[in-house]
Structure 1
Amino acid sequence: MAEQMERVERLFDWIDHTTKIIESEESVPYLEALIASSGLLFDPQLPENMKSTYEESLVNQLDRINLKDFSMEERRKAMQIAILKGMKGATQQHHYVTPDTIGILMGYLIEKFMDGQSEFRMFDPAVGTANFLLAVLNQLKNKKVEAFGSEVDPTLMRLAYNHTNLQEREIEYFHQDSLKPILLEPVDVVLSDLPVGYYPDDENAQGFQLKAEEGHSFAHHLFIEQSLTYTKPGGYLFFLIPNFLFEMDKDKKLNQFLAEEAYINGVLELPSSLFKEEKQGKSILILQKKGNEAKKPRKVMLAQLPSFKDAQGMNRTIDQINEWFANDR
């Protein structure tokens, strides 16, 4: 483990140093420079007619690294640290990187729910830099997953593209507003850390059942509805939701919609230690879209997860989850 962390640190140091060189020479923000530096890792071709000192600095950097020395998880973690550094101080909700421990747990849950299916299609409609999607894919080692992602922010989309190339994966991306029609056949699994807030396009929101009667609609409600649209009957949806999601559903519109469209399979509250403030707390919501052979579980899997550092507590929780699959699904 310590050796792996050393390699992650070594790769991050390279990415960070190269990014700073580009940031300084090109007078661009860190994230823009990170797009260029991470691109050099998998395609080390330098542009022509560069200033000689600038070219020499980058050539020296490229001589110091060999991407093949690093595993896929080491590459992902090094990129994640660099992205976090670039986003430090960003206030927008979509500039938020999902913690690794959640990716590991989500991968475990998807593996359990998709037991018996060696191949399936998975979509993240709020893919961001693709860190969460890639973390989960790296957990699904025994599955052949055809993956898709959608993202409106051009900087995040370019980071996702480079991040995916560094993982040597094929993911099809849609650079668009994910709440508009997507050229995508329905998938078996939807995975998403839901963007929380108001959706500004009132005209487009009119096409959704979960639109607000007046004012802006909740983006997180519309994302749930849109995700169900692009899920096959009987398919599963795994959302990271704010703990207050159902408290904010004053008119019970979301509750009623979910009762008509899906079966709730589980709500797992994540440990508060993962979040700076209590109001930022999140849970994992697991749905199965009605239709095909979907059936209501005998009881909903409910759990308040202990700290991920509490090994005994986590083992007890995993035992409870396994018991639910054996007896209550």
Structure 2
Amino acid sequence: MDKSNVEPLFEWVDHTTELIQKHNDEPYLDSLAVTMETLFFNDTAEDMDEILSRNLQNELAKIDLSSYASIDIRKAIQLAILKGMKDSTQQQHLMTPETVALIIGYLADQLLKGKESIRMFDPASGTGNLITTVLEQLGQDVAAFASEVDPTLIQLSVLNANLQKKQIEFFHQDSLRPFLLDPVDLVVADLPVGYYPDDIRANNFELKADSGHSYAHHLFIEQSMNYTKEAGYLILVIPDFLFDSDQSDKLHRYLQEHAHIVGVIRLPESAFKSKTNVKSILILQKKGEHTKTPKQPLLVQMPAFKNANGMADILGQMNAWFKTYENNK
């Protein structure tokens, strides 16, 4: 990471957020949203307390956002969000790690190489880090859509996209309810893991549980598939136990019927706090008239991200695999 530009911007964002936090006595992430809004409009809100407004005007005088590249803005905000999330311990509020988001961007780029324009959707967008990272890596004209139910997270993601000048249309809703959205070429998502509390809504899904609550991560796969075009791709961050759980037989049958498994990339254990949190990346293609299962799916065990030689070696192997895949389509 280029410290030179990211660090001063993060320090400014963090300092300003703490200022707001102390003044308003509210959580860091809520204060961060105020900081991002102030930075975006380069002004304070009209209804803001006078003392706070004056303090923020003083802070704004010290920063020129136009001198920062969007990648630096994304990274600085990511650091601030990570800091704020240390206080909020809910598992589903964790951000997709930077390296994982970059790998997903690489995979998306490889899979959609021939397309001039793409429609992309993230149904579990959180703070918007994954979708903005992928957008950065796609050269095409991309129409991007994202959905998030949590009000704080969607506020942060909208501001995050605005500050990076990324055009994304956001839906603030439960992502397992119907969308006013035409099918897309690509779904990227870091799947929320756990039970889905709304049994009545879950009844509309093939992957609903036979009894008790259904798994949200299963329903998200089906919902993502519903909004993917035929022959479109899904790149999903999944829990390691996805195919070994008590409801996995149903999932296997569903995927066999509707999708081709293009690949599974197991992420390094060192990237996660404990073995139980380890995740993989699942690449699916929705079945279409002319699609077929790859002769040899892409099966990769990622080395530790710090192992530069190992990473270079794996990327070389993946590039070679994609060449073969492209030729056999």
State how many pairs are aligned: 326
Q: Indicate the SS of the match to 1:237.
A: strand
Residues 101-149 of structure 1: per-residue CA shift (max 9 Å, x gap)? 1111111111111011121000000001101111111122x22111000
Task: Please name the residue that 2:135 is paired with.
Answer: 137
Amino acid at match of 1:183: L
Q: Find the partner of 2:164 among 154, 158, 167.
A: 167
Return closer, same or farther for 1:41/1:214 CA change in 2, 3 Å cut-off: same
- Give the one of 168, 173, 176 matched to 2:173: 176
Aligned residue among 229, 232, 235 for 2:229: 232
Are 2:287 and 1:290 equivalent residues in the alignment? yes
Residue 80 of structure 2 corresponds to residue 86 of structure 1: no
- 1:156 pairs, out of 153, 156, 159, with 153
Deviation per CA, 1:2-22: give whole Å up to 9, x if none. Answer: xx3122111111111111111
Closer/same/farther in 2, CA of residues 58 and 112 from structure 1, 3 Å limit? same
Aligned to 2:201: 204
How far did 1:303 drift? Answer: 1.0
TM-score (norm 2): 0.96
Change (3 A) 1:32 1:49: closer
Deviates more, 1:88-97 or 1:142-151: 88-97
Larger mean CA deviation between 41-50 and 275-284 belongs to 41-50
Question: Which residue, out of 252, 264, 267, partners 1:267?
Answer: 264
Question: Structure 1 stretches (4+) deviating beyond 4 angstroms?
Answer: 49-52
Give the match for residue 9 of structure 1. Answer: 7
In structure 2, relative to structure 1, the CA distance for the partners of 1:324 and 1:62 (3 Å cut) is same
Cα distance in structure 2, aligned partners of 1:322 and 1:52: 57
Distance 1:117 1:55, change over 3 A: same
Q: Deviations over 1:178-237 (max 9, x none)?
A: 000011000000000000000000000000000001111000000000000000000000
Q: Superposed, which structure 2 residues align to 1:45-56 within 5 Å?
A: 45-48=43-46, 50-56=48-54
Identify unmatched segments of 5+ residues in structure 2.
Answer: none
Residue from 31, 34, 39 that aligns with 1:33: 31
Unmatched runs of 5 consecutive residues or more in structure 1? none
* Matched-pair contact (CA < 8 Å) for 1:266–1:302: yes
CA RMSD in angstroms, aligned pairs only: 1.4
CA contact (8 A) 1:192 1:239 kept: yes
Per mean C-alpha deviation after superposition, the further-off stretch among 110-119 and 83-92 is: 83-92
SS in 1 for 2:174: coil
Deviations, residues 244-267 of structure 1 (Å, cap 9, x unaligned): 100115561000000000000000
Indicate whether 1:256 and 2:253 are aligned: yes
| Aligned residues of 1:249 and 1:255 also touching (Cα < 8 A) | no
Conserved in 2, the CA contact under 8 Å of 1:31 and 1:83? yes
Task: State the one-letter code of the partner of 1:185.
Answer: D
Matches within 5 A, 1:211-226: 211-226=208-223
What SS does structure 1 have at the residue aligned with 2:304? coil
Matched residue type, 2:299: L
Structure 2 Cα separation of the partners of residues 77 and 171 of structure 1:
18
Letter in 2 for 1:110: A
What is residue 302 of structure 2 aligned with on the other side?
305
Deviation at 1:53, TM superposition (A): 3.4
Amino acid in structure 2 at the alignment position of 1:69 = S
**Aligned residue type for 2:175:** S
TM-score (ref. length: structure 1): 0.96
